[in-house]
Amino acid sequence: MLKYVGKRLALAAVIAALSVTLLFIIIHLIPGDPARTMLGPRATPELIADLQLRMGLDQPLPVQILIFFGNMLSGDLGMDMFSNRPVATIVFEQLPHTLALIFASIIWSAVLGIFLGCFSAVRRNSLADRLTGVLAVSFIAAPAFVIALYSLLFFAVELRWFPAIGAGEPGDIGDQLWHLVLPSFAIGLSWVGYIARLVRASMLEIMGEGHIRTARAFGLPEKWITYRYALRLAILPTITVIGVGMGFLLSAAVFAEIVFARPGLGKLVIDSITTRNYPVVMGSVLVSTILFVASTTLSDIVNALLDPRIRQSS
């Protein structure tokens, strides 16, 4: 098991390092200069040269990457040139809001999705199964930010059931949860569909396997077989998908944060782009990339914990 975790962490580190490097290279390949971007169109060449020097942009690309990695490992994502605060501090101030939103979305969508998937699989090919299937596909197709806008319009602006903006009073957990309802509904909806379909498909596959036949041959109650024997296995691919889903949720969270004017990583990035605050943009993108890699790694490790076969095969 430890060996597996070690291997998986090493792979994650390689992927994270590679994606950061790739990001760096892409940014350098496309036309546009961070210093010029930050200073705007009316900057004098001297000012630009000065900022380039301060940001280390005069160095060759490999050196820049190495310096960047060195700084990153010591928790330094650079300085925000406007407020003179470290980028890392700014990003980590906003991160909890985004994480809260993502976890709230994962939890409600996983619970509902697993329930719907089981419901469908048990009633295979019935009318209820077909309707759930169409519903699941429709959920999957729903674009998160349109759902966000519609729920803002109907439930916050028109019906006034839920608050329209912000993340709630700091310290007041109830109020904060209340503010989470609409945003997490909006970005979790398509995951309900994904998870329902995935659970249904893997349930049906597992229900046809030999060990389920054994359980039936021993006269175990059908409910027992479904929920304790089959579901335990059927949930495993869902965990992997949730890990990958973090990436999509990070993207969707940007929209939810803008629509509901919530603080968070997405809002930080958009605001920083508008003020041309390039270091903060890069810092947030990096943190979210690493977050994504971390979550896929974590889901693989959780999977290994739950599935003794993976532990063995490593």
Partner 1 sequence: MAITETKSDSFKTRGEFAEVLHHLVRDPLGLTGLIIVSLIFTAAIFADWIVPYDPIALNIKDRMQGPSMNHLMGTDQLGRDTLSRVIMGGRIALQVALPTIGGAITIGVLLGMIAGFGPRWLDNLIILFFDTVRSFPTVMFALAVVALVGPSLTTVIFVIMMTSIPTYGRVVRTQTLTLRNSEFILAERSMGASVGRILAVHILPNVLGPLAVLAAMDIPTVVGLEAGLSFLGMGVKPPTPSWGSILNDGYSLIRNTPWIIIAGGVPLILTTLGFTFLGEALRDVVDPKLRGRR
Partner 2 sequence: MTADILKITDLSIHYDTPRGALKALRHVNVSVPRGKIVGVVGESGCGKSTLISTIIRLLANNAKVASGSIVFDDQDLLALSETQMRGLRGTDISMVFQDPMQTHNPVLTIGRQMTDIQYRDKSTTAEKRNRAADMLALVGIPDPVQRLDQFPHEFSGGMRQRIAIAMALMARPKLLIADEPTTALDATLEVQIIKRLHELQAEIGCSILFISHHLGVIAELCEEVVVMYAGEVVEQGSVRDVFHSPSHPYTKALLDCDPGHIKEKTRSLPTIPGEIPDLVNLPAGCAFAPRCSQVFDACRSNRPAWNECKPGHHALCHLAETETVS
Minimum Å gap between C-beta 172 and partner 1 is 26
Pick from 4, 5, 9, 15: which binds partner 1 (CB under 8 A)?
Answer: 15
How far is 42 from 181, CA to CA, in rounded Å?
A: 44
Give the number of other Cβ atoms within 10 Å of residue 96's Cβ: 13
Q: In the complex with partner 2, which residue's Cβ is closer, 95 or 204?
A: 204
Cα dihedral 213, 218, 222, 227, rounded to 10, equals -80
How far is 204 from 185, CA to CA, in rounded Å?
A: 28
- The values of phi and psi at residue 171, to 5°, are 95, -25
- From the list 300, 259, 47, the residue with the least C-alpha distance to 153 is 259
Dihedral class, residue 305 (left if φ above 0, else alpha if ψ from -120 to 50, else beta): alpha
Minimum Å gap between C-beta 210 and partner 2 is 3
Pick from 269, 300, 303, 304: which binds partner 1 (CB under 8 A)?
Answer: 269
Instruction: Indicate whether 284 belongs to the interface with partner 1 (CB under 8 A).
Output: yes
CA–CA–CA angle 158, 159, 165 (5° rounding):
75
Locate 10 and state its tokens: 């090493």
- From the list 246, 292, 251, 263, the residue with the least C-alpha distance to 95 is 263
Instruction: Indicate whether 34 belongs to the interface with partner 1 (CB under 8 A).
Output: yes
Task: Specify whether the CB–CB gap between 119 and 204 falls below 8 A.
Answer: no
Choose from partner 1, partner 2, none: what does 224 bind? Cβ within 5-8 Å by kind. Answer: partner 2
Strand partners of residue 86: 79
Choose from partner 2, partner 1, none: what does 233 bind? Cβ within 5-8 Å by kind. Answer: partner 2
Q: In the complex with partner 1, which residue's Cβ is closer, 158 or 174?
A: 158
Strand partners of residue 79: 86
Instruction: Indicate whether 61 belongs to the interface with partner 1 (CB under 8 A).
Output: no
Minimum Å gap between C-beta 309 and partner 2 is 5
Choose from partner 1, partner 2, none: what does 308 bind? Cβ within 5-8 Å by kind. Answer: partner 2
Choose from partner 2, partner 1, none: what does 217 bind? Cβ within 5-8 Å by kind. Answer: partner 2
Identify the three-state secondary structure at position 201: helix
- Per CB under 8 A, which of residues 224..283 are in contact with partner 2? 224, 228-229, 232-233, 236
Instruction: Indicate whether 31 belongs to the interface with partner 1 (CB under 8 A).
Output: yes
Minimum Å gap between C-beta 219 and partner 2 is 4
Residue 178 DSSP one-character state: H
CA–CA–CA angle 30, 33, 39 (5° rounding):
145
Minimum Å gap between C-beta 307 and partner 1 is 21
Choose from partner 1, partner 2, none: what does 31 bind? Cβ within 5-8 Å by kind. Answer: partner 1
Cα 208 to Cα 128, 216, 230, 231, distances in angstroms: 21, 11, 10, 13
Applying CB under 8 A, which residues contact partner 1? 14-16, 18-19, 22-23, 26-27, 30-32, 34, 37, 125, 133-134, 137-138, 140-146, 149-150, 152-153, 157-158, 201, 204-205, 247-248, 250-252, 254-255, 258-259, 265-266, 269-270, 272-273, 276, 278, 281-282, 284-285, 288-289, 292-293, 296
Applying CB under 8 A, which residues contact partner 2? 209-211, 213-221, 224, 228-229, 232-233, 236, 306-309, 312
